[in-house]
Amino acid sequence: MELKELEERMHAFVAGKGWYRADSPKPQTPQNLAISLALEAAEVLEHFQWRAEARDTAALAGELADVTLYLLQLASVCGIDLEQAILDKLAENQHREWPAP
């Protein structure tokens, strides 16, 4: 599945819940989406707290999906082509020098 199709499905889900309406109790503003993204990323960390491996990979997969969905939505709402941004960053990193540890 292409990234754009995932983005379209995410928007359809959010719109179906009414979260894009002006009177939504969950306004989908860039600020709120960035906060939600950070909170979901913290939930990923919980799977590794006090252990080197996640015990429940299905639950971890769900949290990673939440992070991805918020990232897709935040990029889209901000008018960022995430696929192009990733490609640009990979190209930039290709020429970057990484210090030895």
CATH code at position 24: 1.10.287.1080
> Does any domain span residue 63?
yes
- Residue 85 is part of which domain span? 3-94
**Is the residue at 31 inside a domain?**
yes
Would 100 be classed as within a structural domain? no
pLDDT tens for the chain, 101 residues long, are 899 999 999 999 999 999 999 999 999 999 999 999 999 999 999 999 999 999 999 999 999 999 999 999 999 999 999 999 999 999 999 998 888 88
Q: What b-and-e string marks burial along 50-76, b requiring 16 or more CB atoms within 10 Å of the CB?
A: eeeeeeeeeebeebbebbebbbbbbbb
pTM of the model: 0.90
- The answer to whether residue 53 sits within a structural domain is yes
Number of domains in the chain: 1
Return d(Cα 7, Cα 11) in angstroms, integer: 6
Give the integer Cα–Cα distance in Å for 62 and 56: 10
